[in-house]
Chain A
């Protein structure tokens, strides 16, 4: 797994600073990296970033991180319960927040039901990129990190690592709903 990270990083560096930055910070998939350097890459892969990710976050040795919908990675009580808990935790926004749109928090639920590698995408209501106030993003991220009843999906009774995301609908700086 680490070998591939290094290989992809090296490929990115060879191809230019912009691509290297995208690979290193684990933003969304780049389709323009030549295949020989990038064969295992998938849309939405989040690469390890030592600046923000836990080095001791355990993953299966296969290195394969599935999608939540591949085998129903979920939360105790199901998605409606997860929505209820997040809305309860996000009732009162930090002072001075504003803006409307979609705030998507994507992360990895590992085979132990722990989470890490959080990344955000911030869009306005017209699906254009925008930046919400940092305290608002930190507040939502904290609520997501504080969830501890994950039920990782299984293949042949063995729990696996998978990506999961929650999209928050923001209205005038408050969380109006969570899409799950």
Chain B
């Protein structure tokens, strides 16, 4: 009972998280105002239900330039694997309001489709529109410049990726805004470049941001084994423990960059 009460309380608390426009900025009686008010009603309906889809269609019929409706209508298609419909809708939102929706399209291209080239193009265009301050990823975990660095890395340009990581971290560090996993991803990039000392230094920094993360210990153990250090197995055992306790990269929709699995850890331990 207490659990249900907590869930209810939390869902009420987090309700304002859904992006809600201020409809009062539109002139009373205008199609924009009517569309906006209907849009707010549509947000109340379950995401992906036919009712909410019909509402968003009505919003679009009232005001075909109301970008938020295209975006919100697109979300369940993305989450349910219909990338054709998602892309048509999100493209329209971006066309109407690029400074608002390029971040979302870039993030989703990166996360759901590993379309690194497309994601990088979206973030680069957004950087031009926002004086190099593109904002955060949809889940709030990444500065989009870190995402750009990950795109460069996955496209094979590790040196350019490192430069982008460095610039973003240098920018955010004085503001105490280094991301939750920035050092981990930069460390893995250095690992791929065989810069083991640099990678270990980044994993050490990662522990100052987030002391319990299986991935940090997993990649540290890989380097320790490479260097024939005796404590590689012990480090991997720590990674295993953390993974089992749930201290790991995890996302409800897709695997995250540099995410590891329990079999990855076990294969390492069997090889020792």
Contacts and interface: CB of A to CB of B under 8 A. Distances in A.
Interface in A45-65: none
A39 interface: yes
Nearest to B80: A44
B230 interface: no
B76 interface: yes
B264 interface: yes
A150 interface: no
A180 B257 CA distance: 11
B180 to A, nearest CB: 20
Contact of A39 (B51, B76, B264): B51
Closest 5 CB pairs of A and B: A44-B80, A80-B261, A165-B81, A127-B87, A43-B76
Contacts, number: 97
Given A28-B85, A31-B53, A31-B54, A102 B261 contact: no
Given A80-B259, A81-B261, A44 B50 contact: no
Nearest to A41: B50
Contacts of B262: 77-78, 81
Interface of A: 28-29, 31, 33, 35, 38-44, 67, 69, 72, 77-81, 83-84, 102, 104, 106, 121, 123, 127-129, 163, 165, 167, 169, 177, 179-180
Q: Report which residue of A39, A40, A42, A102 has the largest number of chain B beta carbons within 10 angstroms of its beta carbon.
A: A42
Given A123-B83, A167-B113, A42 B253 contact: no
A43 B48 contact: yes
B253 A69 contact: yes
Nearest to B87: A127
A145 B101 CA distance: 37
B81 A167 contact: yes
B81 A42 contact: no
The secondary-structure label for the interface of chain A is: mixed
A84 B259 CA distance: 13
A138 to B, nearest CB: 19
A43 B81 contact: no
Contacts of A128: 84
B255 A180 contact: yes
Interface string B69-109: 00000001101111111010000000000000000000000
A72 B250 CA distance: 11
A179 B50 contact: no
Contact of A43 (B53, B252, B263): B53
Contacts of B263: 77, 80-81, 84
Contact of A167 (B49, B77, B83, B252): B83
Given A179-B112, A180-B255, 20 more contacts: A29-B50, A31-B50, A35-B51, A39-B50, A39-B51, A43-B48, A43-B77, A43-B80, A44-B82, A67-B79, A69-B253, A81-B262, A102-B83, A104-B82, A104-B83, A121-B82, A121-B84, A127-B87, A165-B80, A167-B81
Contact of A121 (B49, B50, B51, B81): B81
B194 interface: no
B48 A44 contact: yes
A179 B255 CA distance: 8
Contacts of A177: 114
B253 to A, nearest CB: 5
Nearest to B56: A31
B260 interface: yes
B254 interface: yes
Contacts of A44: 48, 76-77, 80-82
B182 to A, nearest CB: 21
26 contacts: A28-B82, A31-B54, A33-B50, A38-B50, A41-B50, A42-B76, A43-B50, A43-B82, A69-B79, A69-B252, A72-B252, A78-B262, A80-B255, A80-B260, A81-B263, A84-B263, A102-B113, A121-B81, A121-B82, A127-B83, A127-B84, A165-B80, A167-B83, A179-B112, A179-B114, A179-B254
